Amino acid sequence: MGEWIYVDNSNVFIEGKRVSAVRQGLALDVYEAMENRIVDNEYRMSFGKLYEFVAGLDNADTRRAMLFGSRPPENDAIWDIARRAGFEVVTEDRNRANKEKKIDTGIVAALTRDAYKNAEEGDIFTIVSGDSDYVPAITQLISDGFRVDVVFWDHASRELKDACSNFISLNPHLDNLRP
């Protein structure tokens, strides 16, 4: 049984900063933090610890672990750190308005290609993101017999939580994911 992992880096990191803001008392709850753009700018997440949490300490069953995000400045070593942690890194340029684009569709494209071209019966697909944009792909994969887990903060989309095979909360692990 293999495991296939797909991470939306910005989504998991920014929302982790909101969860940390609530934990630090900067907001009453994550929804207030979202509405008022409150984040804990001191919060950092270790790629290695995230990889170990999702893939397991021995990660022997991991067939592929992909981390998707925006292209950083050329002098930024963040993606090199992610590669050393075990992730295959996919970056996309931001659009003219400096908005992140092509990340969700990139994940869905890689996920579905792997499922239908490379996966074996019993393999598990794990998405680390909280967006409901993944619901159609998850629904299709599950109806075709695949197991799809979602790993994210508690405030992930309700529709996403309902669609997946298994939801795993990162909230209890906020501090364990720090460098």
Q: Mean of the per-residue pLDDT values for the chain?
A: 90
The CATH superfamily holding the domain 3-10+45-177 is 5'-nuclease (3.40.50.1010)
pLDDT at position 12 over 80: yes
pLDDT mean over 144-166: 96
pLDDT mean over 77-94: 81
pLDDT at position 137 over 90: yes
pLDDT on residue 169: 97
pLDDT on residue 92: 81
Q: Please enumerate in sequence order all residues whose Cβ is within 8 A of that of 123, keeping only pairs 6 or more positions apart, or say none.
A: 1, 2, 3, 4, 63, 115, 146, 147
pLDDT mean over 104-115: 94
pLDDT on residue 58: 61
pLDDT on residue 81: 80
Contact indicator for 1, 124 with CB cutoff of 8 Å? yes
pTM, rounded to two decimals: 0.91
pLDDT level of residue 110 (50, 70, 90 thresholds): very high
pLDDT level of residue 73 (50, 70, 90 thresholds): low
pLDDT on residue 74: 61
**For the chain, what percent of residues have pLDDT higher than 70?**
94
pLDDT at position 60 over 70: no
List the domain boundaries for the chain: 3-10+45-177
pLDDT on residue 57: 58
**20-24, 86-90, 115-119, range with the lowest pLDDT:** 86-90
* β-bridge mates for residue 5, sequence order: 65, 126
- In whole angstroms, give the CA distance from residue 44 to residue 135: 28
- In whole angstroms, give the CA distance from residue 49 to residue 119: 25
pLDDT mean over 139-149: 95
